[in-house]
Amino acid sequence: MGVVVGPRVIDAGASLLSVLISPVAVAAGYPSPAQDYFDGRIDLNEHLIKDVTSTYVVRVSGDSMEGAGISDGDELIVNRALEPVDGSVVVAVLDGELTIKRLRITGTGIVLQAENPAYPDIRVPSLSDLVVWGVVTRCLHYV
Amino acid sequence: MSKPAVMRHMPQIAHVDVNCFYASAERAFDPSLEGRPVIVLSNNDGCAVTRSPEAKALGIAMGEPWFKLAPRAKQWGLVALSSNYELYGDISARVMELLGRYSAWLEVYSIDEAFLGVKGTPEELLALGRDMKTAVRRNVGVPVCVGIAPTKTLAKLANKWAKNNPGFDGVCHWDSVPAADRETLMRRLSVIEIWGVATRLTKRLNALGVHSILDLSRADPVMIRDRFSVVVMRTVLELQGTPCIPMEEERIGRDQLIFSRSFATPITTAAGIRQVMSVYGQQAAARLAKHGLQAKVLTAFAGTSHFNPKDTSYPSVCIPLPMPTADPVILTKAAHALLPRICEDIRYARAGIMVTDLRPTGNQAPLALFENPHEERHVGTLLEDITRRYGRGSIGLGHGGIRGGPDWTMKRDMLSPRYTTHWDELPLVKAA
């Protein structure tokens, strides 16, 4: 703090200076300070992630949700903080696995539906018997 | 701490920490681990550093070497995992950011624990504790316990109690517990159970007839200061309900290094925070070099002021480093990843960094191809030399670049995917 840099420091710092100003280091670093504050472009994080603490990205394995436009290999944005409601596409824990289903809350109980006729519905007596890992908010589908 | 003119209640301190943090972080993405004995191994898959309650119930000790456990793992149904510091770092950053929303005063104490300043009636404090517990579980996916008390030492003790006594349901407000029960607990627990009292100190305290936490809480602070140190006296005062353990600026834990501080004048620009991050990057590099360590994961965080509850912001980011390093240039550059999350014109009162996934330097030297150019030229040592000779702040880093190769020399045979930091390793959800 407030230290005057004497000639000896310049000596000692010769190799340091060469590191700091070498083209290689600068090219990999910040070319211009202005770039750090450039905010003109659309930032998908800002639009797709409402809460950074509770949002995760997961990848789909299987074709049971084709009817909802969710295909094998798509990425999903999942918000754990959302309350699941009737009609939500949820990631639920079934037999120790993260599984994606359409949640139906009916007068006679809870139904987990696939969006593909090849897969049967799964019935759950009540919401408390079901572990909902998160609610799917977006699908990043490959076209 | 200055006090408002009218104050209904004395400020209290909440201590929040994640239960069996590493195992819980793994379980958040692999529900099949729920209810099963899980251990997480130290670097190079050496020994158990985290045990789930089921693993503890099997009699597995902290630090037990994996080669001794491996033969029985199958019979026990024991799941052993290599330490996945990128995952733990990211989960930690999420927990801390979320906790920051509950208090304008947050001290990140370690990768899995924090102190928060809180205020309210006993009922309000209990409700706040339960809220935090529910929110962390729901949002991030890991279980926490909360201890709330007049001092940090008592808050930690309350938290330990909440963890071990299911009656609390994970949240213990010290002052709400009947005094007789608190005494019983403090009489039952040895002084070694209290925060800040190590084995050697325990022996010396025992020689003076101080065996239980209750004994220590009734000791004469002045006698303790004269016979031991100011540090132990503080513990006594804290047990008696007088807060006196200050915010620590630098902490070295079992597997992490933390640097954080409050600013004398709030910082209101990303440029200001950038400067702070540069200082910490260099301090961390110096500490790592001193201990012969390198880090692979860095977390950077900042927080707004205690006194300004309107504009709050608690950004926290976790940055996997391209290779294990103690290079001040790389650490500084990584810490700058926090900058896009900094809101301009908000008054930041503190900031910090934490480095984890530490391993000895040179234990597994990278190929020359991947070696870091700055390290080779001993920039870190040079900066240290200059700092030592000409004082702190006499030299610093402005710009820097990251170059590195893959980290493939560490033995981590049972590593789970880096679910939240690598696009190729996202958690899979079954659509079947």
Considering only CB atoms, A63 lies closest to which of B382, B400, B431, namely: B431
Is the CB of A28 less than 8 angstroms away from the CB of B432? Answer: no
Q: Which fold has domain B178-246?
A: DNA polymerase; domain 1 (1.10.150)
Domain ranges of chain A: 7-37, 44-140
Window 251-310 of B: residues touching A by CB (8 A cutoff) are: 270, 274
Chain-centroid distance of CA A92 in Å reads: 17
DSSP B328-366: HHHHHHHHGGGGGGPPTT--EEEEEEEEES-EETTTTPP
Q: What is the pLDDT of residues B95-137, one digit of tens each?
A: 999 999 998 788 899 999 999 999 999 999 999 999 999 999 9
Q: Is the CB of B373 inside 8 Å of chain A's CB atoms? A: yes
What tens digit of pLDDT does each residue of A102-120 get?
Answer: 999 988 889 999 999 999 9
In this predicted structure, what is the pLDDT of residue B402?
33
**pLDDT (0 to 100) of residue B198:** 81
Nearest CA in chain A to B385: A12
pLDDT at A25 over 80: no
Is any Cβ of chain B less than 8 angstroms from the Cβ of A25?
yes
Cβ atoms of B343 and B285 within 8 Å: the answer is no
Rg (CA), chain A: 26
Verify whether the Cβ–Cβ distance A80 to B402 is below 8 Å: no
Instruction: List, in order, residues 6 or more apart from A74 with CB less than 8 Å away.
Output: A59, A60, A139, A140, A141, A142
CATH 3.30.70.260 fits B250-392, yes or no: no
Angle between helices A14-21 and B379-390 (to 10 degrees): 130
Tens-digit pLDDT profile for residues B218-250: 999 999 999 999 989 999 999 999 998 876 667
Instruction: Compute CA distances B233 → B196, B209, B216, B224, B229, whole Å.
Output: 11, 16, 10, 6, 6
Give the C-alpha separation, B126 to B256, whole Å: 31
Contact B431 A98 (CB under 8 A): no
* Distance in angstroms (rounded) separating the CA atoms of residues B347 and B46: 44
- In total, the C-beta contacts within 8 angstroms joining chain A to chain B are 144
Are B145 and B182 in contact by the 8 Å Cβ rule? The answer is no
Partner-chain residue, chosen from A1, A25, A36, that has the shortest CB–CB distance to B400: A25
Would the CA dihedral through B212, B217, B222, B228 be positive or negative? positive
For the cut 50, the answer to whether the pLDDT of residue A5 exceeds it is no
Q: Write down the mean pLDDT value for chain B.
A: 86
Residue numbers in A near B393 (CB within 8 A): 1-3
Q: Identify all chain A residues contacting B395, using CB atoms and an 8 Å cutoff.
A: 5, 9, 13, 16
Tokens 């990128």 appear where? B86
Q: From A76, which residue of chain B is nearest by alpha-carbon distance?
A: B429
Matching CATH number, A44-140, of 2.10.109.10, 3.40.50.150, 3.40.50.300, 1.10.645.10 = 2.10.109.10
Out of A29, A52, A72, whose CB is closest to B97?
A52
B238 neighbors B194 (Cβ within 8 angstroms): no
Q: What is the mean pLDDT of residues A43-69?
A: 94
What class is the B21-84 domain?
alpha beta
Per-residue model confidence as pLDDT tens digits over B35-67 = 999 999 987 888 999 999 999 999 999 999 999
Q: Catalytic annotation on A88?
A: no
B430 with A98: Cβ contact below 8 A? yes
Would you kindly state where each structural domain of chain B is located, as residue ranges?
A: 21-84, 178-246, 250-392
Q: Which residues of B touch A5 (CB under 8 A)?
A: 390, 394-395
Query: Is the alpha carbon torsion for B320, B289, B327, B359 positive or negative?
Result: negative
Distance from CA of B151 to the nearest CA of A (A): 28
Residues of A numbered 58-87 whose beta carbons fall under 8 angstroms of chain B's beta carbons: which are they? Answer: 58-65, 70, 72, 75-76, 80-81
Token duo for residue B416: 């789970």
How far apart, in whole angstroms, are the C-alpha atoms of residue A101 and residue B432? 9
Q: What is the pLDDT of residue A32?
A: 46
Chain A residues with CB inside 8 Å of B98's CB?
A: 53-54
Catalytic residue among A22, A32, A61, A101: A101
Element (H, E) at B274: helix B270-290
CA distances from B387 to A9, B13, B239, B368, B369 (A): 11, 37, 40, 29, 30
Mean pLDDT of A15-21: 33
- B98 and chain A: CB distance < 8 Å anywhere? yes
Q: What is the mean pLDDT of chain A?
A: 78
B315: Cβ contacts below 8 Å, ≥ 6 apart: B97, B301, B302, B338, B341, B342
Could you give the percent of chain B with pLDDT greater than 90? 60
Q: Residues 30-59, chain A: which have Cβ within 8 Å of B?
A: 30, 36-37, 51-54, 56-59
Closest alpha carbon within chain A to B90: A53
> Which chain B residue lies closest to A52 (C-alpha atoms)?
B94
Give catalytic status of residue A101 as yes or no: yes
Q: Measured between CB atoms, does B402 come within 8 Å of chain A? A: yes
The rounded distance, in Å, linking the Cα atoms of B94 and B412 is 25
Cβ within 8 Å, pair B394-A1: yes
Distance from CA of B391 to the nearest CA of A (A): 7
Cα separation, A49 vs A9, whole angstroms: 49
Buried b (16+ CB within 10 A) or exposed e, A95-119: eeebbbbbbeeeeeebbbbbbbeeb
Instruction: From B331, B322, B383, B371, select the one nearest B355 (Cα to Cα).
Output: B331
Residue bearing tokens 């793992």 = B73
Q: Which of A9, A19, A93 to mutate to test the interface with B (most CBs of B within 10 A)?
A: A19
Choose, out of B344, B387, B429, the residue to mutate when testing the contact with A (most A CBs < 10 Å): B429
Strands (E) across B2-61 are located at: 12-18, 38-41, 48-51
Please, which pLDDT band fits residue A8 given cuts at 50, 70 and 90?
very low
| Residue (of B176, B144, B147, B174) closest to B159 by Cα position | B147
Using the beta-carbon criterion (under 8 Å), do B419 and A25 form an inter-chain contact? no
